[in-house]
Chain A
């Protein structure tokens, strides 16, 4: 299970403030903590106005790279900002994201090819949110036809089934799992990821919902997620889920994590 650390995101108030004030310490501390907690990538989202987005992304990238060498996941819908930021990155970044929109594919796929990036593909077409599993699967068929045509290997694709909250549609969790299961059969090389906390938006005691869903989605084929790596109980839940799903040979990760104190609630 690969973790994309979610914390450096300008749509969060405190991070937005740090970006505006160029608060290097705050951003670097988020980068270090998430890296220590085992994040494979650090998501970097400036969340700012398009006219400032490229500058802010580049500042974030340079600030983060000054303290950690964890690969970055450049998070923007804006091809120009992504292209600028990709030039500033030391290690091949992941791109977050493409979707079924032709303009976005045209704008971003050349970048993915040029840098040999991994890329998140949202199961979303144009303006409308897909309502069900079938609509999501159809969009991803189109997206993968385009990435294959561009020469991008399936194993570089991370499909995001567009997880929505169960607050507004009680089937949201099952739609995401069914989308993963269906596409996993069609494209065995393709990876899957999603923004975990979406599932519980609008509800109390969210961590229980997040954990229950993550386990089910992992069973469906999810092998990555955008989440808070600093959430120790979530990390423990992931280790336990990988174990019971038969993905932890000789239970080694689990026992090692135990010795490292991951399950010890008194440690922090």
Chain B
């Protein structure tokens, strides 16, 4: 573990974080350990965000740093293992009629760096597209995002469409905006989450990795 790298990321020193990553990888550090440092740094940032001590632009910068670092690390991991072992497959997107993507992007990214294969369908995604992607990929988890109250019905329709397509084993999580347990019941989803870390722990639980 490199405390230096974790500190650089959590202090939002982008240039330092990238330089430290390069130095670590050149000196033969385990690329998986570097990714784990990123994960730890992101957890700290997520916690600070929850406590009101870190803010949205910093989350975005942290996300950018992580993308840059994973781009450096990923080819090395693939070299090592031949393929990257994934915890599970998740189909993800903002439901039809809604176009909000910031929170969705953060959650999709967090799932990705926590070891899930994420198929991000983008925004304004019709129920049929979710169903088709689950059938194509064999994903076992679907994440539905929506910020508007108008998103509740499309969420409900998507859950129903999955059931109608006999994908009854697929677990569905919803999130975004005002979503609470009442909305979860209304849509028929299996769980809801208020932040990215909840999505990660739900996905781990459902895929037996927790």
Instruction: List chain A positions with a Cβ less than 8 A from chain B.
Output: 11, 13, 16, 47-50, 77, 127-129, 165-168, 170, 201-204
Give the one of A50, A167, A203, A204 with max B CB within 10 A: A167
| Residues of chain B within 8 A of A168, CB atoms compared | 56-57, 60, 102
> SS class of chain B's interface: helix, strand, loop or mixed?
helix
Among B4-12, B65-73, B147-155, the one that faces the other chain is B147-155
B120 at the interface (CB under 8 A from A): no
The 5 closest A-B pairs by CB, nearest first: A202-B56, A167-B56, A127-B124, A167-B57, A127-B99
| Residues of chain A within 8 A of B56, CB atoms compared | 165, 167-168, 201-203
Does B52 contact A204, Cβ atoms closer than 8 Å?
A: yes
Question: With the chains together, A159 CA to B191 CA distance in Å?
Answer: 39
Question: Chain B's nearest CB lies how many Å from the CB of A21?
Answer: 14
| Residues of chain B within 8 A of A204, CB atoms compared | 52, 55
B123 at the interface (CB under 8 A from A): yes
Chain B, range 42-72, C-beta contacts under 8 Å to A: 52, 55-57, 59-60
> SS class of chain A's interface: helix, strand, loop or mixed?
loop
> Nearest chain-A residue to B148 (Cβ)?
A77
B123 CB contact (under 8 Å) in A77, A127, A165, A201: A127
| Residues of chain A within 8 A of B60, CB atoms compared | 167-168
Question: With the chains together, A48 CA to B149 CA distance in Å?
Answer: 7
Question: With the chains together, A32 CA to B152 CA distance in Å?
Answer: 33
| Residues of chain A within 8 A of B57, CB atoms compared | 166-168, 170, 202-203
B149 CB contact (under 8 Å) in A49, A170, A202, A203: A49
Question: With the chains together, A165 CA to B56 CA distance in Å?
Answer: 10
B205 at the interface (CB under 8 A from A): no
Instruction: List chain B positions with a Cβ less than 8 A from chain A.
Output: 52, 55-57, 59-60, 99, 102, 123-124, 149-150, 152-153, 177-178
| Residues of chain B within 8 A of A16, CB atoms compared | 178
> Nearest chain-B residue to A48 (Cβ)?
B149
Give the one of B124, B149, B153 with max A CB within 10 A: B149
| Residues of chain B within 8 A of A49, CB atoms compared | 149, 152
| Residues of chain A within 8 A of B149, CB atoms compared | 11, 47-50
| Residues of chain A within 8 A of B55, CB atoms compared | 167, 202-204
| Residues of chain B within 8 A of A127, CB atoms compared | 99, 123-124
Question: With the chains together, A129 CA to B124 CA distance in Å?
Answer: 12
Known: A11-B178, A165-B56, A203-B56. A50 touches B150 (CB 8 A): yes
Question: Chain B's nearest CB lies how many Å from the CB of A20?
Answer: 10
Question: With the chains together, A11 CA to B124 CA distance in Å?
Answer: 21
> Nearest chain-A residue to B178 (Cβ)?
A11
Pairs across A and B, CB under 8 Å, 7 listed: A16-B178, A48-B149, A50-B150, A127-B99, A202-B55, A202-B56, A204-B55
Question: Chain B's nearest CB lies how many Å from the CB of A201?
Answer: 7
Does B178 contact A77, Cβ atoms closer than 8 Å?
A: no
Question: With the chains together, A48 CA to B153 CA distance in Å?
Answer: 12
Does B52 contact A128, Cβ atoms closer than 8 Å?
A: no
Question: Chain A's nearest CB lies how many Å from the CB of B138?
Answer: 29
| Residues of chain B within 8 A of A166, CB atoms compared | 57
Question: With the chains together, A203 CA to B56 CA distance in Å?
Answer: 7
Question: With the chains together, A15 CA to B57 CA distance in Å?
Answer: 28
> Nearest chain-A residue to B105 (Cβ)?
A168
> Nearest chain-B residue to A51 (Cβ)?
B153
Question: Chain B's nearest CB lies how many Å from the CB of A193?
Answer: 20
Question: With the chains together, A49 CA to B154 CA distance in Å?
Answer: 12
| Residues of chain B within 8 A of A48, CB atoms compared | 149
> Nearest chain-A residue to B96 (Cβ)?
A127
| Residues of chain B within 8 A of A128, CB atoms compared | 99
| Residues of chain B within 8 A of A129, CB atoms compared | 99
> Nearest chain-B residue to A128 (Cβ)?
B99
Question: With the chains together, A168 CA to B52 CA distance in Å?
Answer: 17
| Residues of chain A within 8 A of B124, CB atoms compared | 127
